Amino acid sequence: MRNQGIPNIASSQEATNLWFSTNVEPYLNDMVFENILDARRLARISVTTGMFQTSYQPSSGTFSAEAQGALVEVLKFLSAQVSPLMVNVYPYFAYAADPANVQLDYALFTAPRPVVQDGGLRYQNIFDATIDGFYWAMESEGVTDVGVVVSETGWPSGGYGNFTTRN
């Protein structure tokens, strides 16, 4: 599909159905669909928020032993496919887990100056430090050509006492 056709199918189920019936359905019998994760023995991988063994300083980032084995396989697969790693980054969890040592303004992108210095790098927010931690951890596993894309982030709006709506 050309880019200019995307708004049409995004706004109309009828247009989507027509495009599918014209461009995909006639070829379905000629295709073999394979679950690529099953083929690569990656389908049973579950990823948790505890990905890091070490994340402070970002340049010391390493994956936890629990995540390392499966994640390294995923990273090699993504490298071969020239695809990024999609990560969920929640500054909230770092702050809620250790509010005495993680400054609120560092978690909320409002620190007036760098809070963490790691060699020549300075971090004003934990979000950027976390992303760099992923890059360093991947590099420590020998994977240097996989990009990181943030697929989800946020801060809870309720249910967590003083750690929510006020911020």
Residues with Cβ within 8 Å of 126's Cβ and at least 6 positions away in sequence, in order, are 91, 94, 95, 102, 106, 107
Residues 101-140: tens digit of each pLDDT: 888 888 888 899 999 899 899 999 989 998 998 898 889 8
Q: Average model confidence (pLDDT) for the chain?
A: 77
Distance CA 138, CA 146 (A): 8
- Is the domain spanning 35-163 CATH 3.40.50.970? The answer is no
Residue 165: per-residue pLDDT: 56
Whole-prediction pTM: 0.64
- Tell me the one-letter amino acid at 3: N
Q: Where are the domains of the chain?
A: 1-33, 35-163
pLDDT band at 63 (very low <50, low <70, confident <90, very high): confident
What is the DSSP pairing of strand 52-54 with strand 116-118? unpaired
